Amino acid sequence: MIGKLFDVPRRLPAGLAALFALAAVVMLSAMADSTMQPLPASAPGERFSAERALVHLKRFAAEPRPIGSPASGRARDYLAGRLRAAGLQVEIQRSVGARSATGLATFGRVDNIVGRLPGTASTGTVLIAAHYDSAAMGPGASDDGAAVAAMIETVRALRAGPRLRNDVVLLMSDGEEDGVLGAEAFVRGHPLGRAGGVLLNWEARGVSGPSLLFETSADNARLVETFADAVPAPRGHSAMVELYRLLPNTTDFTPLTKAGFTGMNFAYIQRSSLYHTAGDSIANLDRGSLQHHGTNMLALARALGDADLRTTASDHDATYFRALGTMIVYPDRLVWPLAVLAVLAVAGLAVLARVRRLLSLPRLIAAAASAAVPLAVSAASAQGLWELLVAWRPAYDSMGGLLHRPEPYRAAIAFLCAAAVLGWYLALRRGLGPAALAIGSLTWLAGLGLLCAQVAPGASFLFTLPALAGALGWPAAILLRTPAWARTVMAMLGPLTAAVLLPSLAGDVFDGMGLALGGVSALVLALFGLAVVPMAEPFLPDPVTLPGRTVVLAVPVTAVLLAAGLAAAGFAVDDFDADRPRRTHLAYVMDADTRTAHWVSADAEPARWTRRYVSGRDTSALPAGYARGTLWTGPAPAIAADGLRTTVLAHDADTLELHVAPGKGVRSATLRFDRPITRVTASAGGFGSASVPVTGIRTGTWPSEVRFRGIPARGVRITVRMPGTDRIRLIAIAETDGLGTAPGFVPRPPGLVAATREDGDLIAVTRTHTLTVGSRIPPALPPRTAGAERAAG
C-alpha cells in the first residue's frame, strides 16, 4: 500500500507553479511585515512626524546616560522641560528603586519623570511608558530614546486636537537598564503607580524593523481588538506573547502589570547586533521604525483616551496574527475546537488514504515517528553551525548570536533544514510511500497545535491552521472531479497556509534570539519543510520505481553543499569594520589594599587592541572575590584612588549594617560577600529606602552581591541579613564609568566598541574587609598623589 495522495497529468508545470506560489506567498508575507515611511516635519499637526521627534532625540540621546550620570540629569531636565512646555502637569519622582535576582540585590537612585494630561471626564488612566536612561556602553537612541522622543511628539499631536476623555499619564522612567528600577519605584511609591489603568509600554532591541506588539497582560482580548482596529499598520502576533511569557526577560512592563495595570508592550527588534552598544545611535536609527512606533502610540492614545476604560477588561486572551497584510483576531475559546478539528481532519484524511489503499497503518505510524529525525537533525545542524562559527571566529562569542550580517548564515540554516527534510523524504519515500509521509508530517503539525492549545494557546494557530488546511485540502483534491489545476490548488491549501505563518515566525525568532539559538528557528523551518515537502512529488518518479542511490543523495547533498557555501560567504561578508564593529571587553581593576592594578578582559579571544593590555589568564593577583568567569589579565599602573568609604554601623549574629560613600566620580558601588544573604535594605536619605528578599547564590564568583547604581555623594545605608554569620568577608568595589582617566589607556580604533558586559569600560577600585561581630572597618587612608604612587612603585 504505497501511493500518492493525488496526481496530475502535466506534473512538471504543476510543480513549478506550486513552487512559484509558495515563494510568492513567503515574499508577500515578508513585505507585508515591513515598517512605515517616515513623515517630514511639514506633516499636518494632527499626524505623528518622525522628523519632528528626531529634533528632540538629538537633544538628549547623543551620549550614554546611565542612571545617576551627569548625562542622565541633562536628559531629565530637557524632557521634563518639554513636557511642561506642552502644558502637562510634571513632577520628578525621586526614589530608590530595587530588584532582586539569584544571590543579587540591585538598588538605584532614580528620577522618574511623570507628566499628566487630565481628561474631560476620565474613566481611568492611560499610562504611556518608556525609559529615558541608556546602557552605559551606548547612547541608546533606539533603546529607549526613540520611544521617549515619540512621547513628546505624541503629546504635541494630542494637544493639537480635541481634549481626550481620559487622563493620559506619561512615565519616562529611570534605571530600566539596571533592573527596571524606576518602574519598580513608581508602582511602590507613586499614587499613580498604585492606581492602575491601561499601559502602553515602548521598547527596542535593535535599531530597525516594524513596531511589534510582542507582549500583553493576561486576558488581553479587548486590548488586542482595540490595537487591531485603531492602529493603521498593526504588527506582531500572539505567539510572541506566549514565547515572551516563557522567557526570563523583563522590561518596565513587568512591574507595572504586576501592580495591576493591563496593557500592551511594543518593540522593534531588527539589526539587534547594535543593541546596548555605541552603535545604538541616531545615525543608525531607522526613521521608519521611529515613525511606526510613534504612529501606533498616537493612534492608541487617542483610541484609549476616548474609550470607556471600564469596558476594556476581558476574561480571556485573543489569538492574533497577520495573513498577507490582514490582521486576524479570534478569541481563545476557538483554540481548542480548531486544534481538535485539525486532529480529527488529519485522522479522517488517514482513513480516506487507507480506504483508497494509499497507505497502511504501520507505514503511517512509521512515517509519523520518523519525522522526528529531520526535526532533530535540523536543530542540531543549526546549533552545530553556530559552534563552528564561534570556533572559527571567537569574536562572535561576545555577540550572543546577534551578528551584523546574518543573512548568509540564516540561508545556510534554511538549506540545512531542506537537506534534512528532503533526505528523510527521499530515503523513506519508496518504503513508506508519499501518502504516509505527507500525512505523517501533518500529524506533527496537528499534534503541536493540540499541545500548544494546552500550554501556549496563542501559538496554537501556527500549527493548527496549516494542519487543518492541509487535512481539508487533500481530500478535496482526491475526491472532487475538477480540473487538474483546481485539484492542485486544493492540495496547496496546507503548504500555502504554512508559507504564510512559519517562515515569518522563523525570521522573528532569528531577529530576537540570534544564531546562538538558531536551533529554535531551524525547528520552525523544518516544520515548514514537513508541511510543504509533498509539493516535491511532481518532480519525482513513481514511488514504486526503485531510485538509484545517487538520486536519493543528490538533492540533500546539494543542499548541504549550498549551506556550506553560504556559511563560507557569510564568514567573508560578515567581517568587522567601522560601521559593523567588533565588541571587546576591558576594565581597569585596582586593589586599594595592595595598591596593585590590572587590566581585565572577559573576551574569549581578545582583539589586537585589547592585547595591548592583557596577556594571560592568571587571575590570582586580582582582588579576592572580584573575578567572575574566565578572564584575561595584564599589569597596569596604580592610580590615586582609594575606593569606597565603608563604615560598619552595626553587626550582630544575623545582620550587618553599613554606610557606603563614594569617592569623586564614582557612579556605582558593588559589595560582594563570601556567604549567602537573605534580605537587603538600602536607604539614601531624601530619596527614601527600599528592601528586597534575596534567595540563592551567584555562580562564578562569591555567593552574594549588592549593587547601588547612581550612588549619592553622601552615601547610602545598606542593611544586610545573613543569618548565623559571625565572620564575613566583604569586597567593596567603587566603579567609575569610562577608561579615559586610566593610565596608558588609548581609545579603541574604528571597528571596535565596548562589549555589553556590565563590568566593562569602567575603573573598579576594590577594598577587602574581614568582619566579625562587633568589629569596625578602620578609616580609609587619604588617596595618594600621583607622585607618591610613583615613589611607592
pLDDT of residue 789: 34
Residue 17, burial from CB neighbour count under 10 angstroms (0-12, 13-18, 19+): middle
What is the model's pLDDT at position 625?
83
Instruction: Give CA separation, 302 vs 84, 158, 614, 659, in Å.
Output: 20, 8, 56, 49
**3-class secondary-structure state, position 739:** coil
Average pLDDT over residues 612-633: 91
Tell me the per-residue pLDDT of 521-574, one tens digit each, with 9 for 90 and over: 999 999 999 999 999 988 888 776 655 566 667 888 899 999 999 999 999 999
Q: How confident is the model at residue 773 (pLDDT cuts 50, 70, 90)?
A: confident
Residue 793's pLDDT band (cuts 50, 70, 90):
very low
pLDDT, one tens digit per residue, over 331-341 is 999 999 999 99
Q: What is the pLDDT of residues 644-683, one digit of tens each?
A: 999 999 998 899 999 999 989 999 999 999 999 999 999 9
As beta bridge partners, residue 587 has 600
pLDDT of 2 above 80: no
* Confidence band for 483, pLDDT divided at 50, 70 and 90: confident
Q: Is residue 484 scored above 90 in pLDDT?
A: no
Residue 650's CB is within 10 A of a number of other CB atoms, namely 10
Please state the rounded mean pLDDT for residues 13-29: 91
Q: How does residue 776 score in pLDDT terms, banded at 50, 70 and 90?
A: low
Window from 149-158, 601-610, 771-780 with minimum mean pLDDT: 771-780
Residue 675, Cβ density class (10 Å: 0-12 exposed, 13-18 middle, ≥19 buried): middle
Residue 723 pLDDT greater than 60, yes or no:
yes
List C-alpha distances in Å: 236 to 86, 212, 329, 454, 499: 32, 5, 12, 22, 17
* CA atoms within 13 Å, Cβ hemisphere of 80: 16
pLDDT at residue number 787: 34
Instruction: Average the pLDDT over 57-61 and give the result.
Output: 98
Tell me what percent of the residues of the chain surpass a pLDDT of 70: 96
Give the pLDDT mean for 99-112: 97
What sign does the CA torsion over 338, 339, 344, 350 have? positive
Say what the pLDDT of residue 629 is.
84
- The dihedral through the CA atoms of 224, 228, 230, 233 has a sign that is positive
Q: Is the pLDDT of residue 780 over 80?
A: no
Residue 292: pLDDT band with limits 50, 70, 90 = very high
Q: CA of 714: how far to CAs of 93, 129, 397, in Å?
A: 19, 31, 40
Q: Which amino acid is at 708?
A: F
Residue 15 has pLDDT above 90, yes or no: no
pLDDT at 304 (0 to 100): 98
Residue 549 confidence (pLDDT): 62
pLDDT band, very low/low/confident/very high, at 249 (cuts 50, 70, 90) = confident
Q: What is the mean pLDDT of residues 718-729?
A: 88
Find the length of the chain: 793
Closest to 435 measured CA to CA, from 529, 546, 353, 352:
353
Is the pLDDT confidence value at 626 over 70? yes
Average pLDDT for residues 124-150, to the nearest whole number?
97
pLDDT for the residue numbered 32: 85
Check whether 279 has a pLDDT greater than 80: yes
Check whether 228 has a pLDDT greater than 70. yes
What is the per-residue pLDDT for 33? 84
CA 601 – CA 201 distance, rounded (Å): 35
Joined grid coordinates for residue 363: 507505514
Split at pLDDT 50, 70, 90, the class of 80 is: very high
d(CA 159, CA 164): 9
Q: What is the pLDDT of residues 370-422, one digit of tens each?
A: 999 999 999 999 999 999 999 999 999 999 999 999 999 999 999 999 999 99
Q: Collapse the DSSP code of 356 into the 3-class scheme (helix H, G, I; strand E, B; otherwise coil) and give the result.
A: coil
What is the per-residue pLDDT for 245?
Answer: 86
Over pLDDT 90: what percentage of the chain?
Answer: 85
